[in-house]
Amino acid sequence: MTRLIDPHLAHLSELMKQMCDLSLASTNLAIDSFLGGQSAVKEVRELSNQVMDLYDKVGELTFEMILRYQPVASDFRLIRSSLEISYGFTRFGRYAYDITLVRDMLGDLSECKNEVVYTLSGEIKHMIKLAVECFATLDLQKANELRTDEDLVDKYYNKHLPALITSKNVKCALADALVLRYMERMADHAAFIGDSVNYIVTGSRKYR
């Protein structure tokens, strides 16, 4: 039997799917353009703005469902967590945009090797894709994997960031430091999405 809230939950699901797709696209484009030496500021900014527009729609829809339908506990957890997770998607878009701004701000970076960024970029792309899949399937195993991956990113970040201080090329070191920081924050938000999925499924929070 279809409940009054069900069409709204289906609409919420569609909005969240759109945010997932845009977050993946903006992140991949930003990282690939940085490593490839191209500018993608305009394109990533547009993707990021689309994510923000969807975030506003998710917010309006979630509040409407809570006020009008007094959802049961399981629905409420999904609705509440969708709002939290949608914010995480906006951060993916914002940090992706920040990455594209590094080249515009610092100018020609063709002399930079970007080895550290290149190494970490694959893990960040994997984590965001995993976060999207984790939410889409409410998979607790993927949620746990995200926390493990986030710990690995933190270790890598904490190991390599201080090494940039001794670099002889200040501009390249600054570019690497900025992009590494943005990617580390992406990893944090991806792991939080996993935590939110755990809350949706089990009703309990995991705290670090």
pLDDT digits (tens, 9 = 90+) for 153-200: 999 999 998 888 888 899 999 999 999 999 999 999 999 999 999 999
pLDDT of residue 166: 87
Q: Which of the residues in the chain have pLDDT under 70?
A: 207-208
Q: Which fold has domain 6-202?
A: Methane Monooxygenase Hydroxylase; Chain G, domain 1 (1.20.58)
pLDDT of residue 208: 58
pTM attached to this predicted model:
0.94
Is residue 91 within 8 A of residue 186, CB to CB? The reply is yes
pLDDT of residue 185: 97
Write b or e for each residue in 152-184: b if 16 or more Cβ atoms lie within 10 A of its Cβ, otherwise e. ebeebbeebbeebeeeeeeebbbbbbbbbebbb
Domain boundaries along the sequence of the chain? 6-202
pLDDT of residue 50: 98
The structure tokens listed for 98 are: 């920040």
- DSSP structure class, residue 98: H
**Whose structure tokens read 């792991």?**
191
